[in-house]
Amino acid sequence: MEVQSGHAPGRVNLIGDHTDYNRGLALPVAIDLATDAVFTPNGSSRITVLSDAFPTQVDIPLSIPVDPAVLSTWEPAWSRPVAALVALVRPEWGGLLRIQSTVPVGAGLSSSAALGVSVAVALGATGTPRTIAVLCHQMEQMTDVPVGMMDPLVSAGAKAGHALLIDFSDLSTAHVPLPEDMDIVVVHSGISRELRFTPYGARVAECEAAAAVVGPLGAADDADIAGLRDPILARRTRHVVTECRRVRELAGAMAAGDTARAGRIMLESHRSLAEDFEVSTPELDTLVDRLASMDGVHGARLTGAGFGGCVVAITEPGAVDLEALGLQAWRVRPSDGAIPA
């Protein structure tokens, strides 16, 4: 019975939000804020979980069923992902699982995927980044969080110095080199959120309604948008269609080192998220405008699902004084995922 550990990064999405569950494209980056899980087996029939973010320990029996009715109501709520992974991975032995994290919760930097991937690896899950991501996606679905595959896939399979271009129609990936003379700055809007308490589920349902008419939105085109009679569904579809184009354009700009063009594409993405997909907030809009007006900032956009959380900006090195912003902020580095490339 050997000690096992998992180290999984959070992520910031440079572009391609609300495209993953629509079988579209995204370009996220794993960051140097991460979650570490260390599992020490002791031969018992339960796993005792200790987290640096919560004051009490949780005991999860190895026999916990693979049952969404049980897992989605497991208490305390923060331990539901761990309980689901115990059910799915089904480790041979019980023991002590210690979790530590530097990924802020509720900021849109995918603390849940970092937790899921690190715990899955620590409990003994093996395989490719895609295998681990599918497992963690199953965990999220079983705990009543309707997220897509982007977060666990980049947390598991990213490469330092690169973004991960993901095609969700087939889960294929490609590593896109990022300019070395570029900073990635993440700033918290001051509004935290938990996806299950936002209109995220409504946006998923709207996209499903549009897809029932035109097919997967990631493969739709301008003619499909024009054919939708419901104006709300047309706007949601327009965001996904144009966002997938912007993902390819941004990947090309990054690979070419054209940060000015990349910044313009990011600003276009934010407008689409705010106007067509309606997931921005006044705080996010104000923060994007503030950052975009600064010398040396190429572009900015909300990142993640929206409804609060963070803005990501690409800048010239050292252009933004993080302390002067008066908000929680990080200068992050593109980092490796949990599974070595």
Peptide bond into 76 cis (omega under 30): yes
Q: For strands 46-51 and 95-101, give the pairing.
A: parallel
Which of 3.30.200.20, 3.40.50.620, 3.30.70.890, 3.40.50.1000 would CATH assign to domain 183-332? 3.30.70.890
Quick check: 26 and 13 in contact, CB under 8 A? Answer: yes
Cα-based angle 341, 86, 205 (whole degrees, multiple of 5) = 80
Domain with CATH 3.30.70.890 in the chain: 183-332
216: left (phi over 0), alpha (psi -120 to 50) or beta: beta
Where do the H-state alpha helices sit in the chain? 68-71, 80-89, 111-122, 129-142, 150-157, 200-214, 222-226, 231-255, 259-275, 282-292
Spatial distance between the Cα atoms of 326 and 61, rounded to a whole number of angstroms:
44
Q: In what order do the strands lie in the sheet with 329-332?
A: 297-303, 310-315, 183-188, 329-332
Q: What is the pTM of this model?
A: 0.92
The b-or-e profile of 315-330 (16+ CB within 10 A means b, else e) is beeebbeeeebebebb
Tokens of 74: 């497991």
Q: What is the pLDDT along the chain (341 residues), one digit of tens a residue?
A: 799 999 999 999 999 999 999 999 999 999 999 999 999 999 999 999 999 989 889 999 999 999 999 999 999 999 999 999 999 999 999 999 999 999 988 777 888 899 999 999 999 999 999 999 999 999 988 887 667 789 999 999 999 999 999 999 999 999 999 999 999 999 999 987 767 778 888 999 999 999 999 999 999 999 999 999 999 999 999 999 999 999 999 999 999 999 999 999 999 999 999 999 999 999 999 999 999 999 999 999 999 888 998 999 999 999 999 999 999 999 999 999 999 76
User: For the domain 4-177, what is the CATH code?
Assistant: 3.30.230.10
Spatial distance between the Cα atoms of 84 and 112, rounded to a whole number of angstroms:
13
Angstrom distances, CA of residue 31 to CA of 5, 93, 117, 253: 19, 32, 14, 20
Among 32, 52, 67, 151, the one annotated catalytic? 151
Domain with CATH 3.30.230.10 in the chain: 4-177
Phi and psi, residue 324, nearest 5°:
-70, -15
Position 189: which residue type? S
What per-residue confidence (pLDDT) applies to 341? 66
Tokens of 255: 């690979």
Tokens of 252: 């090309």
Quick check: 75 and 24 in contact, CB under 8 A? Answer: no
- Reply yes or no on whether 151 is catalytic: yes
CA-based radius of gyration for the chain: 20
DSSP 301: E
